[in-house]
Structure 1
Amino acid sequence: MLETLLDDPPLWLAPALLSADEADRLLHHLDRVLAWERPTLRLYGREHPIPRRQLWMGDPEARYRYSGRVFAPSPWEPAISALRRRLEARLADAGIATGFNSVLLNRYADGEERMGWHSDDELELGPDPVIAAVSLGAERPLRFRWRHREGPAFNVWLPHGSLLVMGPGVQARLQHALLPRRLPGLRISLTFRRVLAERSPDR
């Protein structure tokens, strides 16, 4: 069952998409078998390593351009491909159309590793993307703030095995961040999305 956190724009949470045992197995499997990377991003003319490890995965055409780099996806890992099918079926039952062709995986070794303020609004994702985030490992809050100060900032705590769905309009009206906290434990997030076939110029 999806719990509605916001109606406009739509934001939903399923605290237990996966059972504790399923989430444990998937967390340890992905931590062990994936070739985690720490890419650099160019900011103000300098290269900076990101404060986490990540991996872009998906269909061969699911490429996107960000901060002067073109990210080409790794092939689907079988356990993640199975999770995608399960996730799409769950969302279809709730009347949410997806068609995910890619996933960004982020690995946070502890609470000091982080993700800064942003919206997933790359042109390749289209004007109103649906993005579904599965969280594994240490529970941390995803912080949201309104772009035009429509209301107060708020936290959404993401338990082990949970699903957060950001519906149409969320990326246009809200930003989100995983801010550093003094919390121990490994966390892996998987954000499923659909990259459009059209290529767009660098932002």
Structure 2
Amino acid sequence: MHTTCWERLLDSPALRLAPGFLDRLQADEVLARLDGELEWQRPRLRLYGREHTLPRRQVWMGDAEARYRYSGQDFTPEPWHPAAAWVRDRVQACLAQIDVPARFNSVLLNRYADGEERMGWHSDDEPELGEAPIIAAVSLGAERPLRMRWKHGVGKPFNVWLPHGSLLLMGAGCQAALQHALLPRRLPGLRISLTFRHVVPR
């Protein structure tokens, strides 16, 4: 594997971006396969006592024991799709090059048909992810900014633009310190994200 070039966005907690993690042909192929071959779902979730239809489509995928609870629902993972498993293996090998030990047993795939579909403010800090989870997110398709904000008023909110084929590493401590969101923007084009994580089996 070639050496990945990283941009250091934050040192503490560690936030890194590898814009060229996948080359254009690789990213195009994975995007087309995932878009065309997965059974994308739009579940209804309960938030603050009310049910809402998810403003995007998603698939929860991973090892059989990687069950996940989110917004009052239990999610049982779909088996690994070959393209997602290939990306997972590349992500783990890439992180090993920078001495980040990570074994991902699951991935949340989100499909945004256009810039109006979105993800609200949150941290990936569910108990199933452990005390200081390492999260790695691969972005495919239309480039959009991930909006970041500090939980305790340490600094100003900021954007991280995520180009086609990029890898974002949110290291240990990021979920405790920061929230992130994919806010609606008037940007055309399909985007699929793969957010890799390790779920501690129940």
Could you tell me which amino acid in structure 1 is paired with residue 192 of structure 2? Answer: I
Aligned equivalent of 2:94, options 90, 97, 102: 90
TM-score with structure 1 length normalisation? Answer: 0.96
Aligned equivalent of 1:136, options 120, 125, 140: 140
Q: What percent of counterpart residues are identical?
A: 69
Q: Give RMSD over aligned pairs.
A: 0.7
1:163 lines up with 2:147 in the alignment: no
Distance 2:198 2:82 in 1: 18
The equivalent of 1:29 in structure 2 is 33
The equivalent of 1:124 in structure 2 is 128
1:70 lines up with 2:62 in the alignment: no
Distance 2:195 2:49 in 1: 28
Name the SS of the counterpart of 2:152 in structure 1: coil
Displacement, 1:88? 0.5
The equivalent of 1:190 in structure 2 is 194
Distance 1:23 1:158 in 2: 13
The equivalent of 1:104 in structure 2 is 108
Distance 2:91 2:47 in 1: 35
Name the SS of the counterpart of 1:83 in structure 2: helix
Aligned equivalent of 2:153, options 149, 156, 164: 149
1:47 lines up with 2:48 in the alignment: no
Unaligned runs of at least 5 residues, structure 1: none
The equivalent of 2:181 in structure 1 is 177
How many residues in Structure 1 have an aligned counterpart in Structure 2?
198
Distance 2:93 2:56 in 1: 30
The equivalent of 2:22 in structure 1 is 18
Name the SS of the counterpart of 1:121 in structure 2: coil
Unaligned runs of at least 5 residues, structure 2: none
Displacement, 1:25? 1.1
Could you tell me which amino acid in structure 2 is paired with residue 17 of structure 1? Answer: F
Name the SS of the counterpart of 2:149 in structure 1: strand
TM-score with structure 2 length normalisation? Answer: 0.96
Distance 2:161 2:122 in 1: 18
